[in-house]
Amino acid sequence: MSKARNISDSNLDNLTVNSDLDFNSGYGSAAIAYGCRAWVNFKGTSTVSVRESGNVSSVTDNGTGYFTLNFTTTMPDVNYNMTGSVSQAGICCVANSPSPTTSALRVAVTDTSGNLADRNYVNVSIFR
């Protein structure tokens, strides 16, 4: 088990009044760090199963190429950004309907021709 570390006053210089975490990653000035709020690596063929995840409680199979990611802890609002990748040739993107919610996100996976397709490896990250 790891122990909690004490934060010195010099480290507090990186916290803003709004409790944003600022850091300088080598570009000359500090900027707000936007963290990954949720991520998942799941098998999107046959019986869908989550391999590993963070803040994703489950993945629902809604039919060929359609999946719903259910968040463990809700997002602060629906203004988050999603990025995804898939194995084989294909594209992972946000589905047009239903709209993203604070508790779930529907994603669509297509082949290179734009046809809905299941893929063995689907990886999605949500940032806010």
pTM: 0.80
Label residues 12-49 b or e (16+ Cβ within 10 Å = b): eeeeeeeeeeeeeeeeeeeeeeeeebbbbbbbbbeebe
Query: Predicted confidence band at 13 (pLDDT cuts at 50, 70, 90)?
Result: low
Q: How big is the chain, counted in residues?
A: 128
Q: Which whole-number Å values give the CA distances from 37 to 2, 101, 126, in the listed order?
A: 22, 14, 6
Domain boundaries, given as residue ranges, for the chain: 35-127
For residue 128, what are the CA distances in angstroms to 76, 86, 91, 102? 8, 22, 22, 11
The 10s digit of each residue's pLDDT in 61-111 is 999 999 999 999 999 999 999 999 999 888 888 776 788 999 999 999 999
Whether 8 has a pLDDT exceeding 70, the answer reads no
Please report how many Cα atoms fall inside a 13 Å half-sphere around the Cα of residue 20, on the Cβ side: 11
pLDDT at 127 over 70: yes
Mean pLDDT of 14-43: 80
Mean model confidence pLDDT for the chain: 85
